[in-house]
Every structure is written in C-alpha cells, then in structure tokens.
Structure 1
Amino acid sequence: MEAKGEGNAVNGVPVADVEAALKGAKEFLIASNLDRAVLMGAAPKKALALIDPLAVDHLAEVRAGLRRPTEKNDPTWTFSRFDPDEVELMDDVRVRGRLTFEPVRGTAGKVVVRADYTFVYAVAPAGGGDEVTRSIVRRTLELDAADPARFRVTDGRVRLLVVKSEIFNDDCRNGDGVIRPRFFTDRSDGPTPTGEARDPYDRSQGVREADRGCGTASRT
C-alpha cells in the first residue's frame, strides 16, 4: 500500500513515516504469526525487536506473558505458538487480510494504521497419525504513525495501540501460552467449547474477543 497525501504528508505525518508504519505492521505480522520458529514455541525475538522501546509498559507486559503465561496475559493473543511436543505443522500457512490507514480525527500529526488478517494453520498430532485439522487465528491490530517533530517516537519501530484476536479450534485452556488444536481422537479431553457456532472464515464481522479460545467453529 502506498501512502499519499497533500504536500508529502498525511495529516501532518510525513509520507515516509506512514509508509514505514505500514511496512512495520507487515513485518510484525510476519514475525509474530508466520515465523516457523515462533510457531513452534520459540521466543518471538524479531517481533519484540520491532516494538518501540519507548512503550516500556507494553513491552514489559508482553515479555511477562511469554515468561509466565496467565489467563489474563496469554501470549497467544499476540503471537501464534504451538507446542512442538503435541503439534506438527503440515503445510504453508494460508493468509488473508488487508492493511489500511487513515488520519486520526482531531489530532494533527497522527495517522492510524489498521491490520486485519486471518491465518490458517494445518496441523497434525506430533509423532505421526493420519488426522489433519486446522486452527484459525484472526488478528486485528492498530498502530500509529506520528510526526516525529511533534511526538516522541523511535524511528523504524512500531507502536501498537490495540491488538484483538480470535482463535478457532483451540481446546479452551486459556493461559498456557500455546494454541492447542482439538483433534477428533482426543476431543473427550479438556474443556468443552461453548458459545454459538461461528464460521472462522467469515470476515464480514469484527473480532469478538469475548469468544477467546472457547468459540465453536462451524468448520475448519
């Protein structure tokens, strides 16, 4: 996506900075949802390195969740991660989504970048087996691009404002730091998903965070 505006600026933000924010959003999504090592449980070092170090509280919260996941601070709401002792990735990740941007109304010198992407992971039980299922993750992100002459920012880093996620085909054990797909052979174990059945591929509605991990997928 190319950023365009009057006089090489969008709402007072230099076009180069808007383009950098768009690029940073894309790189962050790749590092947090497509990096093979991260998908298999490794620390998301590339993604963390992209976050503005001035966002001290946010970085501290994210790192705390990675070190010791809890139900209220589970890293899977930002990073796609599986347990390699339980899950094997079968194919390339399927991705669908878009990046957009618009001026922040009433605030000169700021532009909001929005990302809305769905990631589809084909997985099988680790160690072999004939069953293959899919876990579907939809994430929406909001980042800001700010005029460095008016706001204190770090050049080349992303500033996350909002991250929302839905995970379909997860066993509902929130707080353990990984996505645990439900396979037909072990559906008698763990919590039973609740809530209305929803199509995880339907992108016509917004993310419903209330369904975190326990929504019922109508298909995978």
Structure 2
Amino acid sequence: MSEPADFVTRLRAERQDPGREEALRLDKARRRRKAVLIGCAGALVLTGFGVWLASVTGDRPANEPYAPQALQEDMWPDEWPATVRLPFRGSPAAAWEDGAAGVVAPKAEAAGDHSVTEVAAALRHSREFLLESNVTPEPLAGGRPSAAMDLLDPRDPGTAALEAALQHPDEKHSPLDVFTRFDPDEEAVVKGAVKSRGTMTYEVAPSGELLVHADYTFVYAVTKNHGGWEIVPGAPEAARVIVRREVTLTPSHGRLALRGSERLVVNADCGAPEDGYVHPLYHAAAAKAPKGTSLDPYAKGKAIDDIPTGCVTATRT
C-alpha cells in the first residue's frame, strides 16, 4: 500500500501535466472497453473531478482513500479506515449516546425487604461504578480507577482481588475483567469518542440480597500517540474497540460488592501480553491478525457466556 501523502502529491503532479487531457481520453476509452471501476467512477463524478481521478490513478487498493479534494470523508466506503475526524463513520455506534448519556438506571421501586431509597442508592452507585470503570478519562488513559475502587466495599474479598489485579496483572488476574484501560505510551481515546448502550435491571436473590445487573457495550475510538497512519494528511487513523460488560453488583456496607463480571473485547490484540491494557487492532494489523470465530459485536440476544471463548474476528466495528 502506498503512502497516502505520496499518493496526494502524485495526483497533484498528474493534474498539472500538459498532456493530461489526451492521456485521459485514451485511458477513458480503454477503461470503457474493460468495464473496470464503473461504479467507483460513477460515485466520484459527484465530487466535480471524479472522472479525472478515476482515469489517472489506476486500480487502487480497496482500503486506500482518495485525495480529500476528491471525496469527502463522510462519503468514503465503510471498509476504508476511519480517522479522528469522523471516528464512528460507518459504525452502528454512530447513532448511540455519547459516554455517560448511554448509561441510564431504571426507576427505583421497593423490592423485597429493600426500600425505594435503598434500591435508588444501589442503582445510582452501580451507574457511577460503570462510568468510573469504562468512561472516565483518567482510567481510560491507563490511570488508576480510584473513584471506581472507592465505590467498592474494602471488606469484600472481591475488592482485594481486584486491587491485586491492578497492581500485578497476569493471565488469571486481569483488571480488564472490570476496567477499560489503554496504554498511555501507545494510544489515546479520541476526545469525546466513547459511545455506550445497554440495560440495567435489579432483583432480589433467594438469599435476600439486592442484585443489580448491568449489560452494557462501550465503543471507543482510539488513535496512536506516535507513528500512526495518516489516512490523508492531517487525519490519523482511528481504530474502534468494542467492550461489552455484564456486571452484577450488590449493596455492601454503604458501598458495592462485585458478585459477577464478564467481558468481551473485540478488535483488540488477543495475543498481546496481559499487562492490564487493551491493545487495539488498527487497520493494517487487523488485516494480518489470525482469524478467530466471526462475531458481530453489535448483534443482540446472546449472553457473553454463550459466545465462543478465545480470539474473535469482528464482522464490523
């Protein structure tokens, strides 16, 4: 794949070639005979000089964007990589709520021996925990999720286990089971580029505990801090990572205790060492990555436990 900046430079040089008109006429006739790129050329006509562009560039790789003067980014095919300018272009998440707005607690009602006030507090704290675990900028940037940890009962064994995972992550004890974190030395979440959607419910267990169940999907657009691919000049690539979480929480001594947590992380390098960070797959790496079970991370209906374990290959991001 050629460098996009070189490609744009070549386009400009070819446009200024005095013999361009005759070359275009001959090339256009040849292309008509071969019936190649008819659909692409037709779409590019909308740009004002799409015929010229289709004639001089030859067959381009399907994932190589044209010059920004030729085609606006919101018109690019979905298979082309996204950039920081439109990080959710072509993604179902584009229609989702931004960050915290997509995490909504249900109306609180009395449940079992638990009053409306108790239920409302549990729902409020559970929502705060989800946001501090998956939306707050500091943890996303690899920092300690202090506010989320402060919402957990320090006397609960699960809290101690989670603290140990934060301090010393390994394959059996990962903070990613609960928190979404990216390596600040490698990438950053594009400003404002977190989408969310899901449900929150509650019930009383046979033991009498009030259980809050959350099933939420968060979609992040991230970009490399250094050495990222500029799709076109000034527009670095943005990779989308989808994180689905099923979390069960219960009130405990005025705080919360974890009763269960499942995760599904899609479009991340599942072969990366367990260091407590999500490692996104950018376009070139995703194309070369080993193929796992195909999965539509936006499909509804299946619990995370019902999805095959191991690496998965996203059908869309």
TM-score for the superposition, normalised by structure 2: 0.60
Higher helix share: 2
Q: Write the deviation string for residues 36-71 of structure 1: whole angstroms up to 9, x where unpaired.
A: 01001000100000001220x212211111111101
Stretches of structure 2 that go unaligned for 5 or more consecutive residues are 1-105, 231-235
Q: Which residue in 2 is equivalent to 1:4?
A: 109
**Is 2:307 the counterpart of 1:201?**
no
Pairing 1:43-58 to 2, within 5 Å after superposition: 43-55=144-156, 57-58=157-158
What SS is found at the alignment partner of 2:237? coil
Q: Which residue in 2 is equivalent to 1:134?
A: 240
Which residue type is aligned with residue 113 of structure 1?
A: V
Residue of structure 1 aligned with 2:285, choices 174, 178, 186: 186
Aligned residues of 1:12 and 1:110 also touching (Cα < 8 A)? no
Instruction: Work out which structure has the larger RCO, using CA pairs closer than 8 Å and 6 or more positions apart in sequence.
Output: 1
Which whole-Å CA distance do the structure 2 matches of 1:66 and 1:213 have between them? 22
Which whole-Å CA distance do the structure 2 matches of 1:74 and 1:180 have between them? 14
TM-score for the superposition, normalised by structure 1: 0.85
Q: Which residue in 2 is equivalent to 1:76?
A: 176
What SS is found at the alignment partner of 1:20? helix
What SS is found at the alignment partner of 2:132? helix
Q: CA deviation at 1:180?
A: 0.4
Stretches of structure 1 that go unaligned for 5 or more consecutive residues are 146-152
Query: Structure 1 segments of 4 or more deviating over 6 A?
Result: none
1:213/1:123 CA distance change after superposition, 3 Å: farther
Q: CA deviation at 1:193?
A: 4.8
- Higher Cα radius of gyration: 2
- Number of residue-to-residue matches in the alignment: 203
Which whole-Å CA distance do the structure 2 matches of 1:47 and 1:193 have between them? 35
Q: Which residue in 1 is equivalent to 2:261?
A: 163
Which whole-Å CA distance do the structure 1 matches of 2:172 and 2:146 have between them? 22
Q: CA deviation at 1:28?
A: 0.2
Which whole-Å CA distance do the structure 2 matches of 1:209 and 1:83 have between them? 29
